[in-house]
A and B are shown apart, each in its own frame.
Chain A
Amino acid sequence: MIAQFVSQHLPALQVVVPLIAAPVCVLLRRPTLSWLFALIVTWICFAMSIALLIRLESAGTIVYEMGGWPAPWGIEYRIGMTSAIVLVIVSGIGSVVMPYAKASVAAEIDPARHYLFYTCYLLCLCGLLGVVATGDAFNLFVFLEISSLSSYVLIGLGRDRRALTAAFQYLVMGTIGATSIVIGIGLLYLVTGSLNMADIAARLPEPGTNRTVLVAFAFLGLGAALKLALFPLHVWLPAAYTHAPSAVTAFLAATATKVGVYILLRFIFTVFGATFAFTTMPLDAMLLALAVAAMFVASAIAIFQNNVKRMLAYSSVAQIGYMVLGIGIATQAGVAAGLIHLFNHALMKGGLFMAIGCVFLRTGSVRLESMSGIARTMPWTMAAFVLGGLSLIGVPLTVGFISKLYLIRASFEAGLWPFGVLVVLSSLLAVAYIWRVVETAYFREPTAEAARATEAPLSMLLPTWVLIGACVYFGIDAELTVDTAFRAAAALMQANP
């Protein structure tokens, strides 16, 4: 009976469970209790997303009508291959970060505020999942705001006062992004009279005949680019990631920007259609140019950073460049490569930020100079960092290699081989910034604080190694990711010819 109910309402429960759990978490108050509750909820979410992915094996797309109201009047949840992947990433990272968060949050956040942290965490998770699951444009905006507002709070919750400025700047930029998305949606509503994405797509006038559609396209593109931190609109990201509590950075870096990429994909392919975006509009050229700029400029900045978290944040901007590059190639193979990297980058950047969070826990600093010789006292943490770093560079047998291999292949197949070469060249910059950390941690004499440090607690190390282990596992056996990504890309390309 219950099983049937769950199975029938799975798409809704995926979003509703964390949404309802969040206020319950406020009532629990006690730090450990609220943590345990949030942990269970995230794991349930993860199980549900896996169940959805498995169900998609037999069904092409899962359509769910909220409250039984049929679209386009009611709100419709529409889960295809792409959304299923992103759901798994978001809930998976959410459930891995949770056990990690206990020790990390205890050290970095005032105990009186712990329950607020877990509440916001669940809200943020709910928002991110909602954005991905929904098939309704306005509903997407609502969930985007839920996730954004809660993430501003999460960033500002730490003891670092600079986090407040960072959160404020993110708030301003994030709000502009969301506003721009809602303007875009409004303009589309003006033209089509509908808020359901599939319905909008069906009602859009012939490409190139309507200026309103064109302006909507510009606003939506801008909003998505802001959310996914596409160069040069990434300026909010480094400070926010640097000063946020470690667990928040790991969670947001691995999920929030990925959802941004998903929004971009969703609007390009299922609302406007690939033909409109890439043939009528020169979006592919813009994306390619900005992606290359991100790959090089952000990597170059990362090389000169002395704050390792900030360095990783800039590296994220560069890695987002790779995903956008894949989308900009605008073939099935390109979009698939972008999706593969979306999945892989979530694993490696999550793992890297978690490793650096372990260092912060023990030394209280993430400055490069304070990490001198830290590998002697924290060998497991630094080994995880090195593996994650190798993955970021794209060394074979790690996920980074798989991403770059498919990106390069896609660019060659599309006749855009210079971009393949650029991918390889920009990887060299990653070698430089990762190597700086490795050299400092392994070959310098330990500073006093590094010598005093002990290995991070198992509750933090294990989740870190789960992600790093996944980096290696999916680097060797990439069949699942590659297969799923190609099917998702095929579905996207056919969505609206």
Chain B
Amino acid sequence: MEFALPPFLPFFLGALVVAVLRGRVQAGVAILVPILGFANLWFGMPGAPETLQILDFTLVLVRADELAMLFGWLFHIAAFIGLVYSSHLRDTTQQVAALTYAGSALGAIFAGDFITLFIFWELLAVSSVFLIWARRTPRAIAAGFRYLLINVFSGVILLAGALVHLWETGSLEFSYIGLEAGLAGWLILLALGVKAAFPFLHNWLTDAYPEATPTGTVFLSAFTTKVAVYALARAYPGTELLIYIGGAMAMFPIFYAVIENDLRRVLAYSMINQIGFMVCGIGIGTALALNGAVSHAFNDVIFKGLLMMSMGAVLHMTGRINGSELGGLYKSMPITTVLCIVGAASISAFPLFSGFISKSMVMQAAMDEGYPVIWLALLFASAGVFHHAGIKIPFFAFFAHDSGIRTTEPPLNMLLAMGVSAVLCIGIGSYPDVLYGMLPYEAEYHPYDWSHVITQTQLLFFSALAFVWLNLTGRYPPELPSVNLDAEWFYRRLAPRAVGGVVATLVAAHAVLDRFGQRQMDRAVAFVEHHHGPEGYFARTWPTGSMVALVALVLVASLVFYLA
């Protein structure tokens, strides 16, 4: 077939149609959209880039190379699963927002120049925020504003970086930038970093995602950060700084995830941790590492989606999401429990589950390229993931002490969506060649050789052993179920003293700075308001005499100026 629509267009058109429909028809049409989009991509993907002429710029709307196509397939699958999962909803806002959001993500993935990327980048932020606002609680609305502000800000930096890049090189092409590009390189990296939730830029994610609707979080966790990962893989492969940023990202959220009570927020932290693996892989930049990064992104969307969906189902059925209020749900939600455990096994990278075949690629690449410290950090992060996402999530929600909540399985469409994800998790984990065949770079890798399987199985089994042993001997702290022995020593013995002191100092210093900053800011605003506010000197309606005097003054001043 010669004719094909740009991949984002079916979604935007679908959003328009869905906006005027209601009820079951609306849900049905929404589910059709990703299927049609998929067919559009499958049958009609043009080889040559599609361009659009605006002003003096040639915008490359569609550039479909292998890297883009991989994410293209992924986003169609994710949109399909998410829409099935939310098809019981009767909320036009969410359906339209979800379709627009998925379409924007596709637009960004296939964008061939920075202006197109920027437009979809901002659309991502603007469309997705409605999934947060749709919860319609004051907390969600406030969190949505913060989310919007930071994400739009990221777009503005992206535009600034792109313009500087244009100024310096005369090109807007969205391809390798690197930090050698100077100011443009740093600005664009910062913009991508905000969306990819780099350390210190990550708070919007853990702040807003858990406040979204049960179904909204599923979409949110699929698109925004993965678009950023894609953009990093496109523009900054092999940037060494990213290795260390990725390592930090994989490690630090673990500590927060452990102490967090809101289970969806735990997942939000674990999301940053998983993105850490991808960023690290992009930083290493070899074919194997990049393949690992993008295939991990692929798998993460599916298994993180599955976990988010299972937690969404719990929230949907019980109205609660705090670990301390849940427990014992396996009695009334056995299918959900099993599906959640499949997701947990995948994220923990059990052999035969999808996480295993991609995560180990990044770690292998770290070892091959001579970053043993990073390898250790990632190993530690793997164990940490197993603890907070693999055990903590299912344990607190479905087992632990019986909370006495009796409910039923979620609606069929939710179970179906989770089922599809679970099948994909196991399928990809068991037959990795399908996914490997789609990877953009040439690299030979076999996940199921002895060393990988043994290392990973040992890690997991000793963790599990420790879990059981601690439980039996009664040393297992009820509030803080920790599994990982070395990590445990670190944060149970050393951390309280050392970190406690540091944290106290930091908190105090931060408070002082904050107060100082706040005071200066207040003072500045007060100053501006004093002069520019409705009663201010500049904004008052002046008496006619003063106006005329001003004119005379300006005349005299300009005469003096000219005659001088």
Residues of A within 8 A of B (CB): 166, 168-169, 172-173, 176, 180, 211, 214-215, 217-219, 221-222, 225-226, 232-233, 235-236, 238-239, 281-282, 286, 297, 300-301, 303-306, 314, 396-397, 402, 405, 408, 412, 424, 443, 476-479, 482
Q: Does B517 contact A (CB under 8 A)?
A: no
7 cross-chain CB contacts under 8 A: A169-B544, A222-B558, A226-B551, A300-B532, A301-B533, A304-B536, A478-B54
B534 touching A176, Cβ below 8 Å: no
Residues of B within 8 A of A211 (CB): 563
Q: CB-CB < 8 A to A405: which residues of B?
A: 55
CA distance in complex: A311, B422 (Å): 55
Q: Are B563 and A232 in contact (CB under 8 A)?
A: no
Chain B nearest Cβ from A314, distance in angstroms? 7
Q: Which 9 A-B pairs have the closest CB atoms?
A: A304-B533, A300-B532, A301-B539, A301-B532, A239-B541, A235-B547, A218-B559, A218-B558, A222-B555
A173 CB to closest chain B CB (Å) equals: 6
Of B141, B532, B542, B544, which is within 8 A of A443 by CB?
Answer: B141
Given contacts A173-B547, A476-B54, A478-B55, are A301 and B555 in contact (CB under 8 A)? no
Tell me, yes or no, whether B548 is within 8 Å of chain A by CB. Answer: yes
Q: How far is the CB of B495 from chain A (nearest CB, A)?
A: 41
When chains A and B are docked, how far (Å) is the Cα of A452 from the Cα of B548?
44
Q: Which residue of B lies closest to A169 (CB)?
A: B544
Contacts of B163 in A (CB 8 A): 408
In angstroms, Cα B533 to Cα A405, docked, is: 30
Would A396 and B118 be within 8 Å (CB), given that A180-B555, A301-B539 are in contact?
Answer: yes
Decide if A396 touches B561 in the complex (CB within 8 Å): no
Contact of B536 among A233, A235, A301, A408 (CB under 8 A): A301
What residues of A have a CB within 8 angstroms of the CB of B115 in the complex? 396
**Is the CB–CB distance between B532 and A176 below 8 Å?**
no
**Can you add 15 more A-B contacts, CB < 8 Å, to A219-B555, A396-B118?**
A168-B544, A169-B544, A218-B558, A218-B559, A221-B558, A222-B558, A232-B554, A235-B541, A235-B550, A281-B562, A300-B532, A301-B532, A304-B529, A408-B163, A476-B54
Q: Are B551 and A173 in contact (CB under 8 A)?
A: yes
Does the CB pair B550–A238 fall under 8 Å?
no
| A176-B561 Cα distance, complex, nearest whole Å | 21
Q: Would B562 and A176 count as touching, CB distance under 8 A?
A: no
User: What is the bound-complex CA distance between A402 and B558, given in angstroms?
Assistant: 33
Q: Does B499 contact A (CB under 8 A)?
A: no
Residues of chain A within 8 A (CB-CB) of B529 are 304
8 Å CB contact of A297 from B532, B541, B542, B562: B532
Complex CA distance for A217 and B562, rounded to whole angstroms: 9
Say which residue of B54, B160, B548, B559 sits within 8 Å of A172 (CB atoms).
Answer: B548
* Contact residues in B for A477 (Cβ distance below 8 Å): 54
In the assembled complex, the Cα of A284 lies from the Cα of B547 at a distance in Å of 24
What A residues does B119 contact at CB under 8 A?
396-397
A281 to B562, CA, bound (A): 6
Would A482 and B55 count as touching, CB distance under 8 A?
yes
Residues 220-260 of B at the A interface (beta carbon under 8 Å): none
B551 touches A305 (CB 8 A): no
What A residues does B551 contact at CB under 8 A? 173, 176, 222, 226, 233
Q: Compute how far the CA of A443 lies from the CA of B141 in the bound complex, rounded to whole angstroms.
A: 9
Are A304 and B55 in contact, with the CB atoms below 8 A? no
Pair B532/A304 contact, Cβ less than 8 Å: yes
A402 partner residues in chain B, CB cutoff 8 A = 55
B523-537 interface code vs A (CB 8 A; 1 in, 0 out): 000001100111010
**Contact in complex: B534, A235 (CB < 8 Å):** no
| Min CB gap A487→B, angstroms | 16
**B528 nearest CB neighbor, chain A only:** A300
User: Does chain A have a CB within 8 A of B490?
Assistant: no
Residue B469 at the A interface, CB < 8 A? no
CA distance A300 to B533 in the complex (A): 8
Residue of B nearest to A412 (CB): B167
> Does B544 contact A305, Cβ atoms closer than 8 Å?
no
Question: Nearest chain A CB to B314's CB is how many angstroms away?
Answer: 30
Q: Is B431 an interface residue (CB 8 A)?
A: no
- Residue in A282, A303, A408, A476 whose CB lies within 8 Å of B561: A282
Chain B residues within 8 Å of A476, by CB: 54
Residue of B nearest to A280 (CB): B562
* Cβ–Cβ contact B544 & A172, under 8 A: yes
B538 within 8 A of A: yes
A238 touches B548 (CB 8 A): no
Q: How far is the CB of A275 from chain B (nearest CB, A)?
A: 15
Cα–Cα, bound, A238→B539 (Å) = 9
Taken together as a complex, chains A and B put the C-alpha atoms of A222 and B552 apart, in Å, by 10
**Smallest distance from the beta carbon of B307 to chain A beta carbons, Å?**
32
B542's closest neighbor in chain A, by CB? A235
Asked, given contacts A297-B532, A301-B532, A306-B534, whether A236 binds B167 with beta carbons under 8 Å apart, the answer is no
| Residue of B with least CB distance to A397 | B119
A221 to B554, CA, bound (A): 10
B558 touching A304, Cβ below 8 Å? no
Residues of B close to A214: CB separation below 8 A: 562-563
In the complex, which residue of chain A has the Cβ closest to the Cβ of B559?
A: A218
Contact of B534 among A217, A218, A304, A396 (CB under 8 A): A304
Instruction: Report the nearest B residue to A177, measured CB to CB.
Output: B551
List of A residues within 8 angstroms of B562 by Cβ: 214, 217-218, 281-282
Name which residue of chain B comes closest to A180, CB basis.
B555
Closest to A232 in B: B550
A218 interface neighbour in B159, B533, B548, B555, Cβ under 8 Å: B555
Q: Are A236 and B555 in contact (CB under 8 A)?
A: no
**How far, in angstroms, from A69 to B119 measured CA to CA in the complex?**
57
Q: Give the CA-CA distance A402 to B54 in the complex, in Å.
A: 11
| A429 smallest CB distance to B (angstroms) | 10
Quick check: A172 and B547 within 8 Å, CB to CB?
yes
Within 454-489 of B, Cβ neighbours of A (below 8 Å) are at none
Q: How far is the CB of A191 from chain B (nearest CB, A)?
A: 16
Check A233–B548 contact: CB distance below 8 A: no
Name the CB-closest residue of A to B53.
A479
Instruction: Give every chain A residue within 8 A of B538 (Cβ-Cβ).
Output: 297, 300-301
A222 to chain B, nearest CB (A): 5
Nearest-Cβ distance from residue A215 to partner chain B, whole angstroms: 7
Chain A residues within an 8 Å CB radius of B536 = 301, 304
Task: Given the known inter-chain contacts A232-B550, A412-B167, A482-B55, please indicate yes or no for A215 contacting B559, CB distance below 8 A.
Answer: yes
Residue of A nearest to B551 (CB): A176
Chain A residues, Cβ within 8 Å of B548: 172-173, 176
Closest to B543 in A: A169
- Which residues of chain B from 323 to 342 have any CB-CB distance to chain A below 8 Å in the complex? none
Nearest opposing residue in chain B for A431, CB measure? B152
Q: B407 → chain A, closest Cβ, in Å?
A: 34
| Closest B residue by C-beta to A219 | B555
Within the complex, the shortest CB–CB distance from B124 to chain A, in Å, comes to 14
Complex alpha-carbon distance, A256 and B55, angstroms: 29
| Alpha-carbon distance A281/B119, docked complex (angstroms) | 43
Q: What residues on A are CB-neighbors of B559 within 8 Å?
A: 215, 218
Tell me the minimal C-beta distance from B158 to chain A in angstroms. Answer: 12
Given known pairs A238-B541, A281-B562, A286-B561, the reply for A305 and B554 (CB within 8 Å) is no
CA distance A217 to B558 in the complex (A): 10
User: Does B534 lie within 8 Å of A286, measured CB to CB?
Assistant: no
Query: Is B539 touching A305 in the complex (CB atoms < 8 A)?
Result: yes
Q: How far, in whole Å, are A402 and B536 apart by their CA atoms in the complex?
A: 33
Task: Tell me the nearest residue of chain B to A290, going by C-beta.
Answer: B554
* Cβ-defined partner of A233 (8 Å) among B54, B533, B554: B554
The answer to whether A314 and B167 have CB atoms under 8 Å apart is no
Closest B residue to A303 by beta carbon equals B532
